[in-house]
Amino acid sequence: MNIDQILDQIYLLPETSKASLKNHIIELSYPKGFCLMEANKVIPYVYFIRKGIARAYSSTAENDITFWFGCEGQTVISMKSYVQEQPGYESIELLEDCDLYRLETANLQKLFNEDIHIANWGRKLAESEMIKSEELIISRQFKTSLERYKDIILYQPELLQRVQLGHIASYLGITQVSLSRIRAEIK
């Protein structure tokens, strides 16, 4: 997905505003396994995935708990760093070689003050990230692991081919053995 498509899916900008925003975006590539963001650090960037897949997780003494997967066209952001300039909760690991677009948050904040269209774009970005968080919380609170696995099959089937089952199990809050039972039950 190219940067124009990614920016447009957040909020349509006039061409001059989009050009100003794109002037501050660079393209980067990182290998599979790269830690794009580290928990307990301020992350001064917003990333957009052009190609590849990533996961957000938090670590406990026993294991990592995956709570988000992102693939082509999605935003990778630490909202706490973005909004409050404070260390974020999550780590972000690349699960494939990734091509990314990176936007420095400080540059984005300057653009917010200079261009109302970009400020509105930033508001829409934050709103969409808030909705994703809300959906994740509701799903974890009110759906069973089986229902959540069926949601993956329905809405994100590519994850099942591209992500290790251990990460999927962690995302569902179950063991790999339980995930194997669910998969056998569905077949």
For 22-59, write each residue's pLDDT tens digit: 999 999 999 999 999 999 999 999 999 999 999 999 99
On whether the pTM is more than 0.85, the answer is yes
Domain boundaries, the chain: 3-142
The answer to whether the CB of 2 falls within 8 A of the CB of 81 is no
Q: What is the CATH number of domain 3-142?
A: 2.60.120.10
Instruction: For 83-143, give the DSSP string.
Output: HH-S--S-EEEESS-EEEEEEEHHHHHHHHHH-HHHHHHHHHHHHHHHHHHHHHHHHHHHS
The answer to whether the CB of 2 falls within 8 A of the CB of 49 is no
Nearest to 98 by CA among 53, 55, 57, 66: 53
CA 157 from chain center: how many Å? 17
For 73-115, write each residue's pLDDT tens digit: 999 999 999 999 999 999 999 999 999 999 999 999 999 999 9
